[in-house]
Every structure is written in structure tokens, then in C-alpha cells.
Structure 1
Amino acid sequence: MVSLPHPIQYQGSKRNLASDILKFFPHKVNRLVEPFTGTAAISIATAAKRISQNFWLNDLNKPLIELLELIVEKPHEIVNAYTNIWNEQHHDSINHYFEVRENFNKTNDPKLFLYLLARCVKGAVRYNSDGYFNQSPDKRRKGTQPEKMKKNIEGVSTLLKGKCKFTCLDYREVLAEVKTSDFVYIDPPYQGVCGNRDSRYFSGIHFDDFVLALEQLNRREVAFAISYDGRRGNKVFGNTLPWELGLRKIEIEVGRSSQATLLGKDEITVESLYLSPNLADGQLSDFASYISKSPNQLTSMGKHGQFSTVT
């Protein structure tokens, strides 16, 4: 896929896997719903591929959703705000960052949030136990240059403006409202590190509640795909979704883990994609053709958890 605009370099974003994930989407979707939208990487890619032109972006992180809405609907306003904040960096840019962070924690202003996301260490969002953003600045750089940020923001706005619904709801409220004509892409907090709470999120999700929500989607015959668990080397992250849901599990090889490399290990990171029964049944004929063309190694797992490598 051609390089797509992404104003927010968010750790955990699916922007680098979007082209692989989209291979398993229907060719056309009436509306794409993202209950855990994050930086909307999948919606951006879906719009660019013209799979859908109608989107519901939801995330429990309110400043993040408000920031996305500014980027999509009022690009010039957020570009000007970011440029002004970026240009305010003086000889003590580290102190400037902490001043902006303190102000953000008092106001939850999404314009301030963009600067923090662009400047913080590894684009990694972190919150303390009181829900305040507490990630440190990257001392080697001052954040995305304003001109580059402008280009990315305008690119996203061109793809999504006037096509989105923005909400800040619990994911279960969103799933309860989706229609059979929708396609739902679900990318919850990474359970390998979050459990019921992770410093990257206001709250995690409970496994049993999540499974129940998926059962209800199946009963209503809503098509969906889930990015959920994964593994690095021999280490598995999180619970595997139960076979009773009738999901087909796809494992996408992401590549060598940078963290493992730093530790002198040669470990490959693999992420899982689960397809709902109604989607999987219609897509099975596409699996082999996708895998033969994909630069990533991919393994298909049957509905009962048995591996079957497709070549």
C-alpha cells in the first residue's frame, strides 16, 4: 500500500499492518466501525482503498477522539495550534514539554495532546494511577516538524472529512448499536500487558465481558475482525479467544522484535487476527491467494484451534 498520512505516531497503532489486515476485509463495506479506534489507522487505510466511505470512530480516551475530530473536520485549526506550540519551544525545550504536559493534565485540551504525542518517548502513551498523562519527552528530538505534521493532517482530512461519527463510549455500547450492514474492526488494549488495567489506557477490558460481546455479535450476524493476542518467540501474550465463537485465527508475522534485538535475541513478533464466522466463510477462497502474495509469513488456524499452514 502507498504510504498513508498519519499525524500521530502512536505505539501499538496498526498503521504498519493495515495493508495485511485489509486483505481480510470485505471488498466493500457500508460502514466501518472501530470501537477502539486509537489513531484510526485502519479507517484511514480503508478510506484510501475505497472499501468504505462511512466510519464510526470511538475510543474511551476522550482527548484522543476530540483530537481525531479536529484533524478530520478542522485541519487548519489543529495545524495552526500545533505549529504555535511547536514554535514555542525555547532553549529549554524539555521544560517546555513538561509545561505543556501539566497544562494538558489540567485541561485535557486535544490541541496540547497532539504536541505531547509527537514529542513523547517512542510515541508511547502512558498514564499514572490518577489518569494523568505522565510520559516523558524524547530528549533527542523536538517532535514532528510543523510542515510534515500539516501534510499528514491535511491528508487524513482529505480521506475522512464529512464521513465520520465520533464518540467516546464504552466499547459494549458501540457494539450494541452496530447494524448487520456494518463491518466492525476491533483492536482492544493489548492484553499481553494490560490485564484489567494498563498505564497506556484508562482501563483494560475483562476477558469474559469481551467474549460475551462477541457472542452477541455472532447471534446478530454482524461481521467483524479482531486484532487480539500475539506472541514473540516462545512467549505468548494473552488468552486465546474460545473456539466456541467459531472464529478463524490468522497469524501475521510482523518481523524481528526490536526489543529482542536490543537484548541480543533473534525473536519474531507475530500478531493474531480473528475473523467472524460469516466473514471467514466468505473469505476462505481468498486465503491461499493472499498468502502466496504476502511478504509476511502467515498461518491459518482452524475454528477448533488446529494449525493448517497455507502455501
Structure 2
Amino acid sequence: MAVKAPFNYIGNKYRIINSIQECFPEHIDTFVDLFCGGCDVSINTVANNIYANDINYHVIGILQEFQKHDAQYILDYIDTTIEKWQLSKTNENGYKLFRDHYNQTKNPLDLYVLMCFSFNYQFRFNSSHDYNNPFGRNRSSFNDVMRSNLILFKEQIGDIHFSALDFCDFDYDILHTGDFLYADPPYLLTCGSYNDGKRGFRGWTEKDDLDLMRILTELSDRGVNFALSNVIEHKGSTNDALIEWIADNGYTVHGINFNYNNCNYHTNNRENVTKEVLITNY
């Protein structure tokens, strides 16, 4: 059974992890999770060497703290912090005071606790890199499920190598023939909000898509296997550049059964098709 990361990260792959990993190579020496987010894919992938990267250094900092300390230390820290700041589903003032405190100290474990009581459990930052997600009144808390997930996650995090790099700056020389890279970038067509540190606090662009496709093609030419999660159609729009790239290179497209129609409460038309796919070069 897959282990869930103790986050509710936008775009996380926990719900479809089995469908994705059915398409992964059977034996992996070095594995790179290029846009690891909350790390759901990394901790559920078996490989001799695992590299988890994400440009959101705030989240990577939390993951590194989880890796550094034992589970009891982390849980004691969380419980003590919640008690100290009187955090709850209803104490908005306590949440705001603690948010101000975090923005002064930037302690990664404080950020995790703060996220647990925030609206939709999101990581959102302003242009000054201060956390600015509102309070999750009557909904968000560090609950028993998250506690259990954190304990299991801690058991799996092991010797993963973490980095917080733009995908263009990642050192792809660590990958050799037969190694495997998984890429789950922001999707141009879907409704996710990426004001969370990705791409230096700017949105994902068509140029980013093209840069990533170029890098994946170069890796493929070197004999490195890759799998790319993406959406080729959403609410009547298509990613034509992605479709053309797939066809030009003869890559394999695996359908993924997931529905984004309810991801944005501002959207009235929820009946159009979304086609999420996994693209592989093998």
C-alpha cells in the first residue's frame, strides 16, 4: 500500500500513484523526481539512489528537517508549538500571530505546523517570500490522519537526496543509460494555483514547457528513461506543442483516470473532458 506524504500538496499524485508506477521501469538504479512537491512519488519508488528536487525551497526545507530528526522529536515539536500558540480550527488570531512569527524566523518545522492550520493546507507566499495563506477556519488542523501519515512518511524518507533547484539548473549528469527520471511539472491547461514558490513566484509558461521537453529529449537521446505527467486536453483547450512533441518523437502515451472538473469552485462548466496522461520514452 502506498504511503501518503503528510501534506495536501497541489497536484500531488497520491490518488493515482498506482496507475503511474505501473508504467515505471521494473528495476531502477538512479531515480530523479524532478518536481517532487510533497514527495509522494519519491517515497513510494524503489531505487538504489533517489533524488528529489523542487524549486520550492520552503517545502524542501521541511522535507530535510523531517529527514534530519526522528519521528518523536518532530511530533513533540508540533504538539508543543500547537499548545504554545493555541492553534485550533477556530483560533484565527492565534494563527495570524503564529504566521507573523514564522515570517520573522523562517523555521521549516514552524512552516509545516502553520500549513496544517491554513486554508486548504496550501503553501502560498507573497513576492517577499512571506507566507500569506489565510486561516483554515473549521477545516484545517494537524489531525490524527496527518500524524499517522507523518510517522509512515518518516520511515520511508531514508537517504533521499534533496535539492531546491530550477529544473533548468538541475545536474542531469548524475543520470546514465538505464536510469529513470519522473517529471510532474505544473500543467499549462489546468486550474492549479502555483503561487507557492515555483518558478521564482511566477507562473509556469509555454517556454518552460518547451525547455522541459528539450531536456527530456536530450536525456532520451542519452539512453535515460523518463516519464512525464501532463494534461493534453482540458475544458476544450489542448496543449498542441506537447501533442506535436509526442508525435515527432514517437513517445508512448498512457491514459490516467483522474478528473479535474471540481478543482476550481469558480468554474461553472464542469462537464468538459480533461485528459491527463503519462508520457514515456520506452
Matching of residues 26-175 of structure 1 within 5 Å: 26-46=25-45, 51-74=46-69, 75-87=71-83, 88-89=85-86, 93-145=91-143, 147-161=144-158, 163-175=159-171
User: Structure 1's 85 and 239: CA in aligned 2 closer, same or farther, altered over 3 A?
Assistant: farther
CA contact (8 A) 2:187 2:230 kept: yes
TM-superposed CA distance for 1:236, in Å, is 3.9
Comparing 124-133 and 259-268, the one that deviates more: 259-268
Q: Distance in 2 between matches of 1:236 and 1:131?
A: 33
Query: Is the partner of 2:256 in helix, strand or coil?
Result: strand
Instruction: Kindly indicate whether residue 209 of structure 2 is the aligned counterpart of residue 213 of structure 1.
Output: no
| Amino acid paired to 2:47 | S
* Mean CA deviation greater in 108-117 or 256-265: 256-265
Paired-residue identity, %: 22
Unpaired stretches in structure 1, ≥5 consecutive residues: 281-311
Residues 32 and 63 of structure 1, relative CA distance in 2, 3 Å threshold: same
State the one-letter code of the partner of 2:18.
S
Deviates more, 1:178-187 or 1:125-134: 125-134
CA contact (8 A) 1:120 1:138 kept: yes
For the residues of structure 2 that align with 1:142 and 1:198, how far apart are their CA atoms? Answer: 20
Listed one character per residue, the Cα deviations across residues 34-75 of structure 1 (whole Å, up to 9, x for unaligned) are 1211011111222xxxx3253111111112112112223423
1:237–1:14 CA distance, 2 compared to 1 (3 A): farther
Aligned to 2:261: 257
Deviates more, 1:8-17 or 1:119-128: 119-128
The answer as to whether partners of 2:99 and 2:131 remain within 8 angstroms in 1 is yes
> Partner letter of residue 155 of structure 1?
L
Aligned residues: 269
Shift of 1:275: 0.5
Deviation at 1:238, TM superposition (A): 7.9
Please tell me the root mean square deviation across aligned C-alpha atoms, in Å.
2.8
Q: CA deviation at 1:154?
A: 1.8
CA drift of 1:268 comes to: 4.7
What whole-Å deviation, never above 9, does each CA across 1:232-263 have from its counterpart, x for those lacking one?
A: 44344685251334322223121372247884
TM-score scaled to structure 1, two decimals? 0.76
Measured at CA, do residues 10 and 268 of structure 1 come closer, stay the same or move farther in structure 2, by a change above 3 Å?
same
Tell me the distance in 1 between the aligned counterparts of 2:235 and 2:210: 27
Query: Are residues 240 and 29 of structure 1, via their aligned partners in 2, closer, same or farther at CA, if it must alter by over 3 Å?
Result: same
Q: Which amino acid aligns with 2:256?
A: I
Contact 1:19 1:45 in 2 (8 A): no
Give unpaired runs (5+ residues) of structure 2: none
Deviation of 1:80 after TM superposition, in Å, equals 1.9
1:246 corresponds to which of 246, 250, 255: 250
Residue 286 of structure 1: aligned partner: none
Alignment correspondent of 1:274: 279
Distance change (3 Å), C-alpha of 1:113 and 1:187: same
Give the Å deviation of 1:224: 0.8
Structure 1's 198 and 151: CA in aligned 2 closer, same or farther, altered over 3 A? Answer: closer
Q: Structure with the greater relative contact order (CA < 8 A, sep ≥ 6): 1 or 2? A: 2
